[in-house]
Amino acid sequence: MAKRLNGQFAFFQEFLKHPLQIGSVIPSSRFLEKRIIEASGVVSARTIVELGSGTGGTTRAILSEMPRNARLLSIEINPHLHDSVSKISDDRLIAHLGNACELQMILDQYGMDRPDVVISGIPFSTMSHRSGSQVVQAISSLLATNGRFVAYQVSKRVAELCRPFLGTGQMEVEILNIPPVRVYQWEKNGAHRF
C-alpha cells in the first residue's frame, strides 16, 4: 500500500511539472489495469511494448500476466518516471528512456521481434497531430499479424489518429478510475472488432 501511495505522489509531482507528457493526475487504478490486460491479450503474447509506463503500475500488471518466455519493452519519456520502472526486478522487462516516435529504432536496438501487443498510456490529446500520427503509423506498421494495439485515454483523439491506419476499433469506458478512461482496442489486418 505504501509503495502504491509513493508511486501516486511521484506521478502527481511529475504531472505538475510536465502536464503535456502525462495523461492523468494519478496512475491507473487496478480496475483499469485489469481491463487493459484483458483487452490486450498479453497472456498469450511473446513481444509486448508499453508506451508511457509512468510509475510502473500497468507494467507490473503486464508482467504478472504475460508468459514466462515473453519480453516487455517499456518506453517512458520522463526520466523520473523511467527511474521507477527501471527498478522493477524482472528479467523479461526492458525499461527504455526515450520517445515513442522512435519505436522502430528502439525495437531494433534491443533486437526485438514485431510486437504482438502495444499498450499505450501516452496522452495523444496533448501531442501534435504530426507526432501522434507518427506514433500510430509506427505502431500499425510494426505490429505482428493479428497484433493488438490498446490505448487507454481520457480523450477521443487517439481514435481519430488511428482510423486511417487501423480502422475504427472498439472502445469501452472504465469508470472505476479517476478520471474515467476510454480503453480503445484495434487488431491489425482488418479485424478491428474482437
pTM of the model: 0.85
Closest CA to 84 of 63, 121, 122, 55: 55
In Å, how far from its chain's centre is CA 95?
Answer: 13
Asked if 177 and 151 touch (Cβ cutoff 8 Å), the reply is no
Give the integer Cα–Cα distance in Å for 60 and 73: 12
Q: What is the mean pLDDT of residues 118-129?
A: 94
In this predicted structure, the answer to whether residue 2 has a pLDDT above a threshold of 70 is no
Q: What is the mean pLDDT of residues 80-97?
A: 97
Homologous superfamily of the 2-187 domain (CATH): Vaccinia Virus protein VP39 (3.40.50.150)
Residue 28: which pLDDT band, with cuts at 50, 70 and 90?
Answer: confident
Of 20-29, 92-101, 146-155, least confident by mean pLDDT is: 20-29
In this predicted structure, the answer to whether residue 29 has a pLDDT above a threshold of 50 is yes
Q: What number of helices (H) and strands (E) belong to the chain?
A: 7, 7
Of 14-23, 37-46, 143-152, 181-190, least confident by mean pLDDT is: 14-23
